[in-house]
Amino acid sequence: MDARLQALRGRADEFPGLTGSALRAALAELADAALADLFGEPGAGIALLAVGGYGRREPAFGSDLDLVLVHDGRRKDVSAVADAIWYPLWDAGVGLDHSVRTVDEAVTVADTDLKAALGLLDARLIRGDTGLAAKLVDTVRARWRSRASRRLPELALSVNERARRTGEVAFLLEPDLKDSRGGMRDVQALKALAAAWVAEEPPARVQQAYEVLLDVRGEVRRIGQGRGQDRLLLQDGEAVATALGYPDSVAVSRAVADAGRVISWTWDTTWYRVAAAQRSSSRIGAGLRRPVRRPLDEGVVEQDGEIQLARDADPANDPGLVLRAAAAAARTGIPFGRYAIDRLAQEAPAMPAPWPEAARDDLVSLLATGDPAIRVMESLDQVGLLERLIPEWAAVRSRPQRNPYHRYTVDRHLLEAAARAAAHTRDVDRPDLLLLGALLHDIGKGYPGDHTDAGIDVVRELAPRLGLPPEDTEILLAMIRHHLLLVEAATRRDIDDTATIESVAASAGSVRVLTLLHRLTEADAQATGPTAWNAWKARLVSELVQRATAVLDGREPPCPPALSDRQIALLALPGDLTVQVNPLPDEGMFEIVVVTADDRVGLLATTAGVLALNRLDVRRASARSSAGRSLLQAAVAAPHGERPDLQRLQADLRGAITGSLDLTARLAGREQDYASSRRRSTPAPPQVIFDDSGSVPVVEVRAPDRAGVLHRIARALAETGLDVRTAIVATLGLDVVDAFYVEDPVEGPAGTRPAAVLSGERRAEVESVVLAALTAGAVAGASTGDGP
C-alpha cells in the first residue's frame, strides 16, 4: 500500500513510456484503487468522492488528492473512517485537500465558496453509498443552475482576476498552464457555464487545446519530481518536447500558445453571450420584443448587440463581406455573433487576386481602429478566416519569440504594432502604407533565414496580390527592409556623427519613407515590450529623423559642434576632480558629469565601474578632452527614478582613480549579487564587430548582460590603447549591444592609414583583449537583466 501511495508523489522513473491521457488514467486508477482499499466497506450512509481535477480523472505527479467524505449525519464512526484514509496518505507524503461533511454542510459551503462549488460540479464517487453521493452531486448542480444569475458573474470575476494576476498563457515566456488566462482553469469555467445550462459544452477544439495543456503539464510535473509546479519553464522545454514527440521546445511553446488562444477566445465569446442573455432576461417584457436589426454596411447588421449578416447577404459570392463585417465590428466595438462568423468561415471564398480596392480599403479601415482591431482579427483568426485572406499568416501564427524582450507571439506582435501605428495615421501622408507596413514588418519571422530578407520576399509577392501598385509596393518593401534602421542607428550609433545621419538618409531614400519609418519604429517598439521604448529612445529617434530629413531636403543637419559652449565651460572648471548630477528631460534619467585634471584614456572604464556599483544603468557616454583635462558625460537611468547620490559618486570616483577603492573586487561582489537574483540560463558567446563606415572606427560588442559589463569592455579597450570618445549602450533582453567610437593613437591621423580604419592586426588584438575581459571572472548565469 505504501509503495502504491508514494508512487502518486511522482518520480522521473515512474510509469515509463506513459504520457498524456494514458499517464493521467494510470495515476487516477492507482489513486482510486488505493483509496478504495483504505475506505473499505463501512456500509450505507457514507461515501468518498473525488472532486476537482482528481474528480475529472486528471491528476499529475505531485497533485493533491481533492476528497470529500460525505455522510448522512447519523453515523458515529465518521471520524474513524476519515482517519483511516487521511493518515496513510499523510504518512506517504501525498498532498491532500480534504473535508468531511453532510450533504447539507457541503451544499452550504458550495453556496458561499466558488472554488468548492466548482470542485463539487466535477465530483465522482470512489466508493461508498451511491445514493448519498448522487444526492450531493444533484443538489449542488441544481443549486448552481438556480443561482446562476449571482454565481456566474462571480465566476467571470474570478477568471478576470486570475488573468490580471498571472498573465496570458499564449504570451508568457514561462506560462502557468493552470491559472493563466487561457489555461486549464478557464476550460473548467466554460464547463461551469454549461453546467448552469446557459451555454453549450465547450466545442471539440477547446477540449483538444485542453488536452495539450494537460499533456504538457504532466511532463512539467514529471520533470519537477512531483513538485506542485504548473509553469512551463524555458529550461524544461526540450525535455517536454522529447517526451511528447514535438520536434523541439519551440514547437511545444507554439502548441501551448495556440491552445491558450483557443481557450481564451472561446471564454470571451461565450461569456459575452451569457452576460448579454442575463441582462436581456432581467428586462421586463424582454421576451416579447422583436429583434431590431440595424444596418451597418452592405450585408452587415447589428442585432442584439452582435454583428450579424443581413438576410440577403451571400458570403459565397461576396468575398469582401468578411472585411466589411470585420471593419464594422471594430468601428462600432460590437463583437461578431457566433452564427455570423461561423457562416463566414464556412462559406466565404478566398479573396481574388488582386484584391478589389474596396476590400483593401476595408482592411485599412479595420486596422485604423487601433485596439478594437486586435479583438476582431483574433476572431477572424480563430475560425480560419485570417489565413484565408492572407495565407502567409500561417507561418507566424502563434509563433513564440522566446525572450523577455518580446512580450507577444509574432502574429500578436504584428497586430499590436498595427494598433499602435493607428495612433499616427495623421502624422504621415500615406496612412494606409503605415498600417500595412506595421501589420507585415515581421512577417518574415515565420520563414528560415534572416527575418528581414524573408519578409521582403514575402511582401514582394503579397503586396501586388493586395492590389498595391508598383510604386506603393516599393515603399512597403523599403519599410520592411529598414524597419530596424532608425532604432538601431539611434541606440547603437552616435546621432551627432554626420556619417550616421547621412547613412540613415541614404537608406530611407525619401522623406516619405523616412517619415513612415519613424512612426513604424515607434509602433514596433511599443508593441515589443516594456523595455523596448521609452522617452529616451523616442527623443533619440526623433532627433535622428530631423537630421536625416534635413539631409534629404538638401539642408545641413543641425549637429552640435565638436565642443559646445557648455562643454568648454565644464572643462575649464578648477580642481582635480569635479562630479555633477543633473536631471535630464526624460523621466528617471540623469546626466553624470565627470571632469578630471588629466587627460586619461581609462576614464570611461573607471566611471562605468563606479556607476555600476551605484546601480546606475548607462545609456550613453561621451568623453572629450582639451588642454590636458578630461570631460566625461553619461546619461544614466536610476533605479526607481531616484536622484543618484552625488557625494557617494564623487567619493567612489576619487577612490577608484587614486586606487584606494578596489573597483575590480567590489564589482565581483556586485556581479555575484546580480547573478543570484536572476534566473540562470545559458548565454550566447560575446561578439566583437568592427564598423569602419563612419568618420571614426566603431567597435560594437554584443555580450550577455551582467553587472559591470560596460566597465569590463571599456577597460579592455583602454588596455589596447584605444581612446573611447563616445559609448552608446543598449540592452536587448538578455544581451547588451554596446558601440564604442574610438580613436587609435597607434594609427591616428599621423599614421599611414586613415583614422576611420583599424588594420587587421589591430582588430585581432582588440577582439582578443575584449573577449578575454568578458570571459574572465564571468559569473555563471548572470545573463539576464537590463543593465548594471
Q: What is the spatial order of strands in the sheet that 723-732 belongs to?
A: 577-583, 589-596, 629-637, 617-626, 723-732, 735-743, 698-704, 687-691
Report the candidate in 715, 717, 731 with the shortest Cα–Cα distance to residue 777: 715
Q: What are phi and psi of 100, to 5 degrees?
A: -125, 115
User: Looking at 16-20, 45-49, 557-561, 714-718, which range is the least confident one?
Assistant: 557-561
Q: Work out the burial of residue 333: count CB atoms within 10 Å of its CB; fewer than 13 is exposed, 13-18 middle, 19 or more buried.
A: exposed
User: Looking at 22-31, 162-171, 464-473, 776-785, which range is the least confident one?
Assistant: 776-785
Range 611-628 average pLDDT: 84
CB distance 46 to 81 below 8 Å: yes
Give the pLDDT score at 786.
Answer: 33
Residue 787: pLDDT band (50, 70, 90) is very low
pLDDT in tens, 380-400: 999 999 999 999 999 999 999
Does position 100 have pLDDT exceeding 50, yes or no?
yes
Give the pLDDT score at 2.
Answer: 57
Range 25-46 average pLDDT: 91
CA distance 370 to 12: 48
Give the pLDDT score at 704.
Answer: 84
Range 536-548 average pLDDT: 93
Does position 315 have pLDDT exceeding 90, yes or no?
yes
User: Looking at 150-159, 164-173, 530-539, 770-779, which range is the least confident one?
Assistant: 770-779
SS3 297: strand
Higher pLDDT among residues 320 and 728, named by residue? 320
CA distance 701 to 683: 15
Does position 339 have pLDDT exceeding 50, yes or no?
yes
Range 542-556 average pLDDT: 94
Handedness of CA 347, 348, 353, 357 (dihedral sign): positive
Does position 748 have pLDDT exceeding 50, yes or no?
no
Higher pLDDT among residues 312 and 626, named by residue? 312
Provide, rounded to the nearest whole percent, the portion of the chain with pLDDT above 70: 90
Report the candidate in 620, 611, 623, 640 with the shortest Cα–Cα distance to residue 723: 623
Give the pLDDT score at 232.
Answer: 94
Residue 226: pLDDT band (50, 70, 90) is low
The residue length of the chain stands at 788
pTM: 0.86
Range 176-201 average pLDDT: 96
CA distance 657 to 603: 8
What mean pLDDT value characterizes the chain? 89
